[in-house]
Amino acid sequence: MKTVSLPIAATQNRIERSAAEPSLGLEAPIQVLHRIILAQASGKLSVSDPHDPEVLWQVFVGNGQIHFATSLAGQGDRLAYFLKVAGIFLPFDTLKTSDYQFLCSQWRVGRLTLAQLRAVLTLMTQDALIQILKLPQADVRVERQLGLDPLLISVPIVKLLSSELSALRLWQTVLPDILSPLQRPTIDDPKRWNEVLNSPGQTIPRLHLIQPFLGSNFCLYQIAREMGVELIGIVPLLQFLVRLGLIRMQPYRAQPQRVKPTIACIDGSVEVQANVKRTLEPEGYQVISLTEPTHVWSILQQQPPHMLLLDVDGFDGYSFVKALSRSERFKSMPVVALSERQGIVHRLWARRVGVTDCLAKSFDPKVLQDLVQQIVPTVV
């Protein structure tokens, strides 16, 4: 069996630091992921190519094992492609939840078997890992993250990639002509294209077959799905056309849509964090889970939320609210206090220090949904 070589390029101290705290910077994704695996750490790795800022790849890791990998951009296009590759008919117009949550919901209602679900998750994970590991340098962030629920796959990275080395090498060779399969190829010079297409000596394979999709604003996943071929089957042709100057690759740029806000939850309780995520993420909200006060300020600076859920019992919450009110950047951010105390005195004190509202830690999901909807505008 072929093996995947992940070079060690860090000291043990750096391994521990990467596993323990978020980081942001230009690094080789393969080295960062290797450090996490060596440390048998758990968390989420977010990777973006500075040359392809429309796309953010993510890897979920638990105890050094790969649980899932995907892209935040184009999840519906990727999912439709991989369902066809797996020979599964599962119609959907748009994704109202994440690709992972959608697939799990289809499994729960019996539209997917467990074997089918795991097969699709594995295909999507292999593809995302290839797109991440092909990058020599990228913006990389490592953060602690609650595990996926339910957890369906937990596989060593070597096992996932042992059969995908040729695909990884292919994607490495097409850089920088093609940055990702989410790019949209378009004809650069229609007149020259028609001359090449209709020339008597035209010998470019599949040129006539791919031509109808180059003016449809399709990304590579969509083109491969419509043509009924594997993605790597059209990549060399597209690179050839780019180098001939016949086409150019456009960024993904998803169509404008209603986007719900980011909610940060600072609470040391894993149960509370899980309840918040289960309640808000299916509604389309992005939830940042922070279980420890360490580095909270730096994380909020990197990804400012539109609302904050704050534990004021086990965390020095009221002092934190006062500090927020003194910050020009965060003084207007709504803060909801999470507490076991719900008496009138507690609520009055909370309002006095600047809390927007209060919520019991044992909240009703509908109450939290309504509260978030009232405090934060739906469209950001």
Q: What is residue 248's predicted lDDT score, i.e. its pLDDT?
A: 94
Apex CA 52: angle with CA 76 and CA 140, to 5°? 95
User: Span 262-375: which CATH code?
Assistant: 3.40.50.2300
Q: What is residue 121's predicted lDDT score, i.e. its pLDDT?
A: 98
Q: What is residue 355's predicted lDDT score, i.e. its pLDDT?
A: 87
Tens place of pLDDT per residue across the chain (380 aa): 343 444 333 323 333 344 334 444 589 999 999 999 999 999 999 999 999 988 999 999 999 999 999 999 999 999 999 999 999 998 887 788 899 999 999 999 999 999 999 999 999 999 999 999 999 999 998 887 667 889 999 999 999 999 999 999 999 999 999 999 999 999 988 888 888 888 888 888 888 889 889 878 899 999 999 999 999 999 999 999 999 999 999 999 765 455 568 899 988 888 898 899 888 988 878 888 887 766 677 777 777 889 999 888 766 777 888 888 888 778 888 999 888 877 676 677 777 778 888 888 888 889 998 899 888 865 44
User: Model pTM?
Assistant: 0.64
Residue 175: how many other CB atoms lie within 10 Å: 15
Query: At residue 103, what are phi and psi to the nearest 5 degrees?
Result: -60, -40
Question: At 197, is the secondary structure helix, strand, or coil?
Answer: helix
**Single-letter amino acid code for the residue at 12:** Q
Cα Rg for the chain, rounded, in angstroms?
Answer: 23
> What residues contact residue 156 under an 8 Å CB cut-off, 6+ apart?
64, 65, 66
- Domain ranges in the chain are 12-167, 184-250, 262-375
Q: Angle 270-280/365-375 helices, nearest 10 degrees?
A: 70
Tell me 321's DSSP state: H
Q: What is residue 11's predicted lDDT score, i.e. its pLDDT?
A: 28
Q: Contact 189/255 with Cβ under 8 angstroms?
A: no
